[in-house]
Each structure stands twice: as structure tokens, then as C-alpha cells.
Structure 1
Amino acid sequence: MLMGMVAFVPAAAAQDGTAQVRVVHASPDAPAVDVYVDGSAVLTNVSFFAASGYLEVPAGERRIQVAPAGTSADQAVIDATVNLNAGQAYTVAATGLLENIGATVFEDNLSPAAAGEARVDVVHLSPDAPAVDVKLADGTILIENLAFGEGATIDVPAGTYDLIVTPTGAADVVIDLSGTTLEAGILYTVFATNVVANITPQLTAVTIGNAEAAQEEPTAE
């Protein structure tokens, strides 16, 4: 079972005419990569299991390319056109195994949660894992039947939770997030990454409403 620990870092808030984009390297057998937006490098040497903070990117139709680190955009293994709306936040994940690597784009809801509540996103990025359920340790299902490439969002009262992830309909725990404290006004994102034999939680936390971000450095047990 695998668990993680949090380390907070700031991120910029979006200005008029821009979107916020963060990048997640979730392709288990891909090398470190450089990321380009409209031909300009915005991130370099991004290794597997890394998640960037939010970057300000001009809204509109943007070309996003991902190439092996130290090469060029001409060597891109991912070449995708993404339409970014002004004021919207996005996560662009490099997903799948290298032979069929692609970009999966998620819209992130950074609008304020209700008073006293936290928001939790769970994103399934483990390419060979089955659909999963997110539960409390007592068996209460919070998110059900989440398949590879899908994400789901729930708002919950702030507090400390014993969260687990299991294959859908099964009891085997593949991710254990026992004792997770969720603070009001925070968006927590759990990216389930790596191949199923080593499925690993990659976690981020964002203060919703003003987009101050925190990136988690996961550790394995």
C-alpha cells in the first residue's frame, strides 16, 4: 500500500484572457520530458510522477507538445491541440504507456466550495488498472467505478478521513490514504498513477477561490 506527504508551493492566479494549466507526467515507462506550448518550452526535464504548479497560458486554441527531455518539439511524442477558455483551470496529463502515450485533459473546478467543505478530485491514470471505487475505511463508497482516463469530484465536510481505493466491487486496498486531513476551502486532487502492480497516489492541494497551489511529494511504503 502506498501513501503520500504534502509540501506546499505557490502558483500564479489567472489574469484576464488567460487560462491556468498544470502538467502531470503519468506515463510509467516514458522518460523525462520537456513541454512546449505553441512551440515554446514552458517546462523542462519533467520526470514520471511529477506534477507542475499552474502556469498562466493565453486562452484560445493552443498547441501542446511533449518531447523527450533535451530534444526539441520536432521530436514530440504527444502533439495535441487544446482549446483553453479564459479563467478556466486545466490539468493536462501525459497518460498511457509510451507505445500509445497521449494527452488527457481535465477541467479543474477552482470555484469556492461551500462553507466548511473541502473538494476532492480523484483521477485514474493507471493504464493497466481496472476501474476503482473510492471509499471510507468502513466501506462507504464516495466515488464508484472510476475507469482509466476518468476523473470525479466530490465536496465533503472538512475533517480527517480514512480513505481507501479498491478495484470496483472488491475489498483489496490498492491505495491507502488513512488519516487524511481535508481542510475547508481546499481542492485536493489524487492522481492514481503507475502500473497496477505499483499503483501510487500523486497528490496536490489548491486553495480554491484564489488559486494558491500546493504540490505533494509522494512517498511509498
Structure 2
Amino acid sequence: MPDCSGDEVLSDVAFRAVSDYLELPAGTHTVTITAAGDPNTVAFEGDVTVEAADYTVAAIGELSGEDTDFRPLILEDDNGDIGDDTARVRLVHGSPDAPAVDVTAASGDVVLFDGVAFGEAEYTTVDANDYTVEIRSDTGGNDGDVVADYDVSLDGGTVYTAFAQGYLTPDDEPADEPFDLQVVQDASY
């Protein structure tokens, strides 16, 4: 991906890789994303407008474009200060073959996220704690089948993004990448 002067700013970015924040002036920028190692295979090229804020750009979809077209998902981050006893968490649904999901805490009837579909993202604020979170098929009662569960430790005064990524059935997909929940820290106070 080139910067505003046309220079490459990220290269050979692997699946599940997360970079540090990059500085980019506010305004409209032409962005080109190519397949790793193949600059002639353009996966995305277009103008992107950003304000003076923190953003996360997630590459979602499939380069093959068989089921879900590849695209950058541009999300403005909510990295504002929060209390020492709470954590702010954003869920980004980037799993092309997963249905809309509910995310619940296994320790009780706490619904963290409700009905988040592919390409969508939502924030929630929770008490700082260790959680076992359950990814479920979306239902009206948030009681769908659990497709995966993960242990997550959330520190107070911290902002996180949790990427739901990979495939529920990787053997049937263009990339053999199993479903996973990757939690990254965006900010800490």
C-alpha cells in the first residue's frame, strides 16, 4: 500500500497481520492494494477520505472474489479515555463464510454483541476482567449454536479491537485459514 507520495508503506502483509498506526494527513488519498508479491494483481484501488482521527483498515473478503469481493473496511476508532475499571471492545466481523453473529459471555447471560454481520463492526464497554466469549449464530434470543469460544483478558482503561476472521469451513474456501478471534490493543490509559 503506497503513502500519499506514492511510496509503499506496507508490504507483504500476511493474513492476520496487524500493523502499528501509520500517520496520514487528513484528506482524500488514492489507495492501491495489490496481492502480496504480485504488484500487477490489484485487489483494490480507490480514493479514501480520512479526517484527523484514528482509523483501522481491515482487509476483508476474498482476492479470488468467488463468494465475497475483497475490499478495505475503513473504521474510525473510538480511542477516547475510559475508566480504569472498564475496557472498550470493538468486534469486526471479517469472516466471509460466517453468518451474522451474537457474542455472549459464557459466565452469564451477558450479550456483548448482537447480530453483527460480515463487514460490520460494533463497540461495547465492559468491566475489566477475564472472559470466555462465545461466538454464536445470530438469533433473536442470542441463544444460537456456539460456533467457537475464546478466553479473553481485558484490562481496565484499555481499548481493543477483536477481529473475527478466517473460515468456519476452511476446507471449502480459497484459503485454508480456520475461524479465529484475534484481539489487539488499540489504546491504553
- TM-score w.r.t. length of structure 1: 0.72
**Contact 1:118–1:155, Cα closer than 8 Å, also in 2:** yes
Letter in 2 for 1:93: A
Letter in 2 for 1:122: L
Task: State the distance in 2 between where 1:64 and 1:112 align.
Answer: 30
Task: State the distance in 1 between where 2:32 and 2:85 align.
Answer: 39
Q: What residue is the counterpart of 1:77 in the other structure?
A: 43
Q: What residue is the counterpart of 2:62 in the other structure?
A: 97
Task: State the distance in 1 between where 2:181 and 2:46 align.
Answer: 26
Q: What residue is the counterpart of 1:204 in the other structure?
A: 184
Q: How does 1:41-120 map to 2 (within 5 A)?
A: 41-72=8-39, 75-86=41-52, 88-98=53-63, 99=65, 100-120=69-89
Greater strand proportion? 1
- Structure 2 residues not aligned, in runs of 5+: 170-177
- 1:59 is displaced (CA, Å) by 1.4
3-state DSSP of counterpart to 1:40: coil
Q: What residue is the counterpart of 1:153 in the other structure?
A: 123
Q: How does 1:165-184 map to 2 (within 5 A)?
A: 165-169=135-139, 170-178=143-151, 180-184=152-156
Letter in 2 for 1:172: D
3-state DSSP of counterpart to 1:55: coil
Q: Residues 208 and 82 (structure 1 numbering): CA distance in 2 closer, same or farther, change over 3 Å?
A: farther
Task: State the distance in 1 between where 2:81 and 2:35 align.
Answer: 37
Higher relative contact order (CA 8 A, sep 6+): 1
3-state DSSP of counterpart to 1:195: coil
Task: State the distance in 1 between where 2:81 and 2:155 align.
Answer: 13
3-state DSSP of counterpart to 2:146: coil
3-state DSSP of counterpart to 1:57: coil
Percent sequence identity is 35
Letter in 1 for 2:83: A
Q: Size of the alignment, in residue pairs?
A: 172
Root-mean-square deviation (CA), in Å? 1.7
The CA deviation string for residues 27-46 of structure 1, in whole angstroms up to 9 with x for no partner, is xxxxxxxx223322001111
- 1:77 is displaced (CA, Å) by 1.3
3-state DSSP of counterpart to 1:156: strand
**Contact 1:113–1:155, Cα closer than 8 Å, also in 2:** no
3-state DSSP of counterpart to 1:62: strand
**Contact 1:117–1:184, Cα closer than 8 Å, also in 2:** yes
Which of 98-107 and 166-175 deviates more?
166-175
Q: What residue is the counterpart of 1:189 in the other structure?
A: 161
**Contact 1:111–1:208, Cα closer than 8 Å, also in 2:** no
Task: State the distance in 2 between where 1:52 and 1:78 align.
Answer: 19
Task: State the distance in 1 between where 2:2 and 2:24 align.
Answer: 11
Task: State the distance in 2 between where 1:202 and 1:162 align.
Answer: 14
1:164 aligns with 2:131: no
Letter in 2 for 1:37: D
